[in-house]
Copies of this chain bind each other. A is one copy, B any other.
Amino acid sequence: MRCHSMPMADVGIVAGDILGDALARIQREVDAAFDQFLPVPDDTRAPLLEAMRYAAIGGGKRVRPLLTVATAEMYGVNRDAAVRTGCAVEAIHVYSLVHDDLPCMDDDDLRHGKPTLHKAFDEATAVLAGDSLHALAFEILSMPETSGDPFVRAELVAALAGASGWGGMAGGQMMDIAAEGGAVHDLHTITRLQQLKTGALLAASVEMGAILGRVPDEGRGHLRAYARDIGLAFQIADDLLDAEGDEELAGKALRKDEVAGKATFVSLMGAEAARTQARALVDQAIGHLASHGSEAELLRALARFIVERDR
């Protein structure tokens, strides 16, 4: 029997390897940062902050913050600045899960193995907690503690706002709702949908690491190519997990795509072809890092993890 109250160890990775250590470390750091960003005030806002903490602390793989930190560290960025920036990306990711789980959206009861926020609290608090985590992301990015350089702060905000709004994640979620109605049947449209819904924020995680590292815009091409490939691989792996995964291990409801009659990479390509495609994308992503040496080892390990994870 697996114990879901231990968030660090249970990621299907052999302890002691580069990725397992890095995931355990970033999980601790992100939890500590959110703990600091979200003090519970001594007034009637307390339930809001408790709800934000419930959603943000102690759950999730923290793939996005790790992408930011792993990219930033390739360019010698101060670790604390990179963790704070990763927390901003994660705050957007968490808010989107909270709103996605609402009864009017996916109506999910379980997330990270515990009741979803609107089940543990109530719907109004879930809407407000999501909204407040959304604002927190931009508060974090605008603090001088995140970067002393206002140009960097403004670039970080531009990258994150662009990736999360109608031109990115929220736009992809809208396309996803349309796809549930059975309107989408082709791989091209599914690919575009997923590039927005999941890919944009994963790409921003890498991009924001590069911004912190002051990599000039024209020097970010290979990182963007890496991010695009792992973004797509990540979503194919998610579709495979939904079709074949262990519900208890995943800590959330699965088989939802099939029930909703939604076209996915798996329903369109078949599971075997989808798995082959995901692995090819990971190889391709790693290929884009060829100009880097051992400093890119964590990004390479992350790419492999994305298709091998079991939750």
Contact = CB atoms under 8 A, between A and B. Distances in A.
A18 interface: no
Could you say how many copies of this chain the assembly holds? 2
Interface in A121-157: 122-125, 127-128, 130-132, 134-136, 138-139, 141-143, 150-151, 153-155, 157
A85 interface: no
A52 B170 CA distance: 12
Interface size class of A (residues with CB under 8 A): 35 or more
B132 A161 contact: no
Contact of A131 (B45, B170, B192): B170
A199 to B, nearest CB: 15
Contacts of A142: 154-155, 157-158, 161
A44 B96 CA distance: 19
B127 A102 contact: yes
Nearest to A48: B174
B166 A45 contact: yes
Interface string A183-214: 11000000011000000000000000000000
11 contacts: A38-B166, A44-B174, A44-B184, A99-B128, A104-B123, A131-B164, A132-B165, A135-B165, A142-B158, A150-B150, A150-B151
